Amino acid sequence: MLLGVDLLLLIGPTLPLPATPDIAEAVQSVAVTQSDEGRSGFQIVLQVGRVGVADMLDYRLLLNPLLRPFNRVIVIVRFNALPQVIMDGIITTQQFSPGNQPGGATLTLTGEDVSVMMDMKKKHIPHDALSESLIATKIITSYAQYGLIPMVIPPAALDQPLPIERTPMQQGTDLEHLKNIAERFGHVFFVEPGPVPGVNTGYWGPPKRVGLPQRALTVGMGPESNVESINFSYNGLAPTIVDDLVVDKRLNISIPVMTFASLRLPPLALLPALPTQLPNVRTTLLDKSSGLDVAQAYGRAQGITDKSVDNVATAQGELDALRYGGVLKPRGVVGLRGAGFTHDGLYYVKSVSHSISKGQHKQRFSLAREGVGALTPVVIP
C-alpha cells in the first residue's frame, strides 16, 4: 500500500502471474515512462540479501527464473480501487549491485514495452499490393502472442500501390518499418497497455486528440493546485511548410505542391503557429518525391507540416498522484488551468513518467500543442 495507491506486479513468461511474495516484498521502487514517440520503458529496483542456508550459494533473487531477461512484466496501479495498467513490457537488462552494507545489495530490472519484440529481427520482405495502413495492420496482428490488437487510422491521402507499378518493400525490423511508414504522413506508432492485463493496443495513426479530456492540471490556485512544478516554452522555428514542384509519375508533368496550415483535428490552441507566424515560417522541399503522383506528394507534404507544429508550444512539469486524484494518461488530451490565458486550455499529453516508491507516487509529464491561447473558457476540473 503506497499512501492509498496499490501497486500490483505481474511477472512471468508468455502469460505473467502475480509476483511471488519474495519478489513483491523486495520491491524498493518502480519507474515507468510512457511516450508516444520512442519506446516506453520501466525500471524496477529490488532489495536483495542473503539469509540462511538457502543463500549460501548465491542470492536467491538472482537465481529466480522469473527475473531473467525476456520475461514479461505488467505493472498495475490501483488508485482508489480503480486498477490501471501503466506498463506491459519485457525485461531486457539485469543489473546487480552487491553493496557494502548488510541488506544494501540491489537488483535492477530494466525493460521496454512489448514493441521491443518487434525490433529483434531485420527483414527484407515485400508487401504486395498493400497500402501503408494495411501494412501496419498486417505487422501488428502478427504479434498477437503479446496481446496486441491493431488500431490503425488510415491517412487522408491513401497510397494504394498497383502491382504492375511497384511493390512496397520492407528493409529493417517490423518496428522500424512501422515508424518509417507512419512518419510519411505525420503519424505515430506506439503500444498502449490495457485496458485489462495482458492486452495491448498497437496504435498507428495521427496523435490521439479526440475523446473526453482528463481531469485538469491546476497550477497557482492555492489548495486546488495539483501541479508541483511546470514550465512552458514556445519554439518559433518549428513550424514548417512545403513549397515544391513534383513531377507526377502518371501525367509526367511538374505540378506545384504547397502546404499552408496543420490539418490536425480538433485544434487545441486558439492561436496556432500557422498561419499566425507567416511569413516567418521555415519552408522546405519534399524529399524523395520521385515516383509519386500529386495526391501522394500532397499527403506526404501535409504530414511534414502537421508534424512540425505538434510541438510548437510545450510544457514539462510534475504532479503528485494523490493530489491529482488519479493517473495522468499519455497519448490523449488534458486541460490545464491557472497559468493564464496564453498557456491555459487543452494540451496533448506526449509522455508521462511514473516514480513509485514507499510513501510517494510522482508523475512527470510533457504536454504539447500547435500554438498558444485557451480555445475553451473552462476545462474539466
* Strand partners for 79: 5, 82
Decide which of 115, 138, 170 is a domain's last residue: 115
Q: Based on the domain organization, do 276 and 160 belong to the same domain?
A: no
The CATH number that applies at residue 21 is 2.30.300.10
Look-up of cell digits 497510397: 159
3-state secondary structure of 145: helix
Do 220 and 330 belong to one domain? yes
- Asked if 253 and 334 sit in the same domain, the reply is no
User: Residue 354, class by beta-carbon neighbours within 10 Å (0-12 exposed, 13-18 middle, 19+ buried)?
Assistant: buried
Q: Check whether residue 196 and residue 127 sit in a common domain.
A: yes
> 160 pairs with which residues across the strands?
none
pLDDT in 10s for each residue of the chain, 381 residues:
444 678 999 999 988 999 999 999 999 999 999 998 877 999 999 998 876 666 667 888 888 999 999 999 999 998 877 889 999 999 999 999 987 777 789 999 999 999 999 999 999 999 999 999 999 999 999 999 999 999 999 998 777 888 888 899 999 999 999 999 999 999 999 999 999 999 999 999 999 998 899 999 999 999 899 999 999 999 999 999 999 999 988 888 999 999 999 999 999 999 999 988 888 999 999 987 777 888 889 999 999 999 999 999 999 999 988 889 889 999 999 999 999 999 999 999 999 999 998 878 899 999 999 999 999 888 988
Same domain, 280 and 335: no
Looking at the fold, whether 28 and 98 belong to one and the same domain comes out as: yes
Question: Which domain CATH number covers 194?
Answer: 3.55.50
Rg (CA), the chain: 24
In a shared domain, residues 158 and 26 = no
Same domain as 31, residue 62: yes
Q: Which of these three, 115, 130, 160, is where a domain ends? A: 115
Q: Are residues 29 and 130 in the same domain?
A: no
Distance CA 190, CA 203 (A): 6
pTM of the predicted model as reported, rounded to 2 decimal places: 0.92
CA 326 → CA 82, 322, 380, distances in Å?
Answer: 9, 7, 14
341 and 221 assigned to the same domain: yes
Boundary residue ending a domain (49, 80, 115): 115
Q: Which domain, by its residues, includes 68?
A: 5-115
Check if the beta carbon of residue 107 is closer than 8 Å to that of residue 32. no
Count of the separate structural domains present in the chain: 4
Question: 223 and 322: one domain?
Answer: yes
361/226 Cα distance (integer angstroms):
13
Task: State the Cα–Cα distance between residues 330 and 116, nearest whole angstrom.
Answer: 19
